[in-house]
């Protein structure tokens, strides 16, 4: 029998956020209808396929199929719903602002849904969006329908577990009844629920991502200093991370942050500041340093190889991080483009990511195994921290490469072991070693 707090929820958007949110709410006992505008996506979901790679999501959808349906029809999704969740994407516009057109088309589709108890926006939006949506709902005669902002803090690759075991659930609502209703949807989740006004909730999301991006970037800056001074970033971050005020997370030096969130959200926050006439200088520096990070790696490789023209370089990993097939804003794209621009030949390997047919990937070749990808290469560049790369038979790779040069852009491998195998081994914030 349904528990009294179990509700009927319409989720708009069947992307990473919408599908995870829908499947997790169904797991918590709610009845969920997920609506998307892409027919192929809905067709796949209706035959039991999951159109994105997210560990655990397929099982969750299969296990809850009684309570979880998919549709193209907005009216059908909302017909019996108590709460409508907006989980559509908000890609950047040329000015760096978030494009809210998809959010607005969902709000338009809800204007006849006067039976709803609440509309919730989970999409990442500029601070102040809640006020504008509230006004639109009021103008449509829906002033009795509650409004909440419920930002998401799930990371790709562990989104299901992040949703069900969160550090916190943030709910921004302008009236206590709506806050309570949205909090009740999360019953069964083991994490604190923090309730605040809508603008603050919208700010939490952008500020949290900006601070994480800043922490990574600070680490990358210290790594550059380590390269200049002979210190080792891995020793430095291990010791710094033991300070409980700082913590060990998001201090992995590398080729810079990518993905669909940090780059977009940091630019959106900066754009928000600029639009208000405020120069957010710290965030501007973070964005610039992150942009430089993969280019700096190419420059170091170019110096080591005495030019890149006519050289063959293998990219090991294309996804923006391990555990996902997502290549949005992945450093690999900038790296491949730069290498091609320098006249290099680019070979690639990735266990999941599908780079597609557009540039730069149409000018590169894909290979099934890391060793095959490294055949004839003048250098191999570890772009994504795939654990498989630690298991590569590096002695075999050494034998098939033209030059024994590895640039480890994620500090995944052991410098002494790589040097012992006869490689010149470069990494980020550590000394270059060779036998």
What crossing angle do the helices spanning 129-139 and 198-229 adopt, rounded to 10°?
A: 150
DSSP per residue over 323-349, as a string? T----TT-HHHHHHHHHHHTT-EEEEE
Q: Which 135-154 residues touch ligand UGA, going by CB under 6 A?
A: 152-154
Q: Among residues 210, 216, 286, 305, which is the contact residue for ligand UGA, using CB under 6 A?
A: 216
User: Tokens 């208000």 correspond to what residue?
Assistant: 276
Which residues from 150-189 bind ligand UGA, rule CB under 6 A? Answer: 152-156
Question: Min. distance of Cβ 99 from ligand UGA in angstroms?
Answer: 16
259 binds ligand UGA, rule: CB under 6 A: yes
SS3 23: helix
Q: How is the beta sheet containing 312-316 ordered, strand by strand?
A: 365-366, 345-349, 312-316, 379-382, 405-408, 424-427
127 close to 100: Cβ distance less than 8 angstroms: no
Give whichever of 198 and 345 is closer to ligand UGA, judged by the CB atom.
198
Q: How many residues does the chain have?
A: 435
Give which of 321, 387, 377 is closest to 345, Cα–Cα. Answer: 377
Tell me which of 24, 87, 226, 261 is the catalytic residue: 261
88: helix, strand or coil: coil
CB 263, min distance to ligand UGA, A: 9
Q: What are phi and psi of 58, to 5 degrees?
A: -60, -45
If one asks whether residue 361 binds ligand UGA (CB under 6 A), the answer comes out as no
CB of 120 to ligand UGA, least distance (A): 16
Residues 370 and 394 sit within 8 Å (Cβ to Cβ): no
Among 21, 31, 90, 209, binds ligand UGA (CB under 6 A): 209
Q: Which is nearer to ligand UGA, 35 or 122 (CB)?
A: 122
And the tokens for 127? 């601070």
**DSSP character at residue 155:** P
Query: Is residue 18 a contact residue for ligand UGA (CB under 6 A)?
Result: no
- Binds ligand UGA by CB under 6 A, chosen from 12, 163, 262, 361: 262
237 is an interface residue for ligand UGA by CB under 6 A:
no
Under rule CB under 6 A, residue 126 binds ligand UGA: no
Contact (CB, 8 A) for 150 and 200:
no
Q: Which is nearer to ligand UGA, 296 or 398 (CB)?
A: 296
Instruction: Give the number of residues in contact with ligand UGA, rule: CB under 6 A.
Output: 20
In the bound state with ligand UGA, the residue whose beta carbon lies nearer, of 19 and 397, is 19
For this structure, is 261 an active site residue?
yes
Smallest gap from Cβ 20 to ligand UGA, in A, equals 10
Q: How far apart are CA 399 and CA 143, in angstroms?
A: 71
Residue 104 interacts with ligand UGA (CB under 6 A): yes or no:
no
Minimum distance between the CB of residue 119 and ligand UGA, rounded to whole angstroms? 20
- 257 touches ligand UGA (CB under 6 A): yes
Q: What does the radius of gyration of the chain's CA atoms come to, in whole angstroms?
A: 24
Return the active site residues.
261
Binding site for ligand UGA (CB under 6 A): 152-156, 209, 212, 216, 250-252, 254, 257-259, 261-262, 265, 320-321
């Amino acid at each position: 029998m349904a528990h009294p707090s179990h509700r009927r929820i319409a989720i708009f958007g069947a992307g990473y956020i919408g599908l995870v949110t829908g499947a997790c709410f169904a797991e918590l006992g709610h009845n969920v209808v997920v609506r998307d505008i892409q027919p192929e996506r809905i067709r796949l979901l209706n035959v039991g396929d999951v159109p994105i790679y997210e560990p655990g999501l397929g099982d969750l959808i299969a296990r809850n199929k009684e309570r979880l349906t998919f549709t193209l029809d907005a009216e059908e999704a909302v017909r019996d719903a108590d709460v409508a969740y907006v989980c559509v994407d908000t890609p950047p516009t040329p000015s760096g602002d978030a494009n809210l057109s998809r959010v607005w088309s969902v709000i338009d589709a809800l204007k006849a849904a006067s039976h709803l108890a609440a509309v919730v926006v989970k999409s990442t939006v500029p601070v102040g969006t809640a006020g504008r949506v509230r006004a639109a709902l009021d103008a449509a005669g829906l002033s009795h329908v509650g409004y909440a902002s419920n930002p998401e803090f799930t990371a790709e690759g562990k989104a299901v577990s992040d949703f069900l075991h969160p550090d916190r659930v943030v709910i921004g609502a302008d009236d206590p009844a709506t806050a309570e209703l949205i909090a009740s949807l999360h019953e069964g989740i083991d994490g604190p629920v923090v309730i605040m006004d809508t603008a603050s909730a919208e700010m939490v999301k952008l500020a949290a991502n900006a601070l994480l991006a800043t922490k990574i970037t600070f680490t990358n800056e210290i790594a550059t200093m380590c390269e200049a001074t002979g210190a080792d970033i891995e020793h430095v971050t291990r010791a710094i991370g033991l300070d409980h005020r700082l913590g060990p997370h998001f201090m992995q030096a590398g080729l810079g942050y990518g993905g669909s969130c940090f780059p977009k959200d940091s630019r959106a926050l900066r754009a928000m500041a600029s639009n208000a006439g405020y120069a957010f200088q710290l965030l501007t520096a973070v964005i610039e340093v992150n942009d430089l990070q993969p280019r700096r790696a190419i420059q170091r490789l170019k110096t080591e190889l005495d030019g890149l023209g006519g050289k063959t370089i293998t990219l090991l990993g294309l996804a923006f991080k391990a555990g996902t097939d997502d290549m949005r804003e992945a450093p690999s794209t900038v790296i491949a483009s730069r290498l091609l621009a320098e006249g290099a030949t680019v070979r690639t390997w990735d266990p999941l990511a599908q780079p597609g047919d557009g540039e730069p990937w149409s000018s590169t070749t894909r290979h099934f195994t890391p060793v095959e990808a490294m055949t004839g290469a003048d250098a191999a560049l570890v772009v994504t921290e795939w654990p498989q790369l630690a298991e590569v038979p590096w002695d075999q790779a050494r034998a098939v490469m033209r030059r024994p040069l590895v640039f480890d852009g994620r500090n995944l491998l052991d410098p002494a072991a790589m040097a012992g195998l006869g490689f010149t081994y470069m990494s980020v914030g550590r000394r270059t070693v060779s036998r």
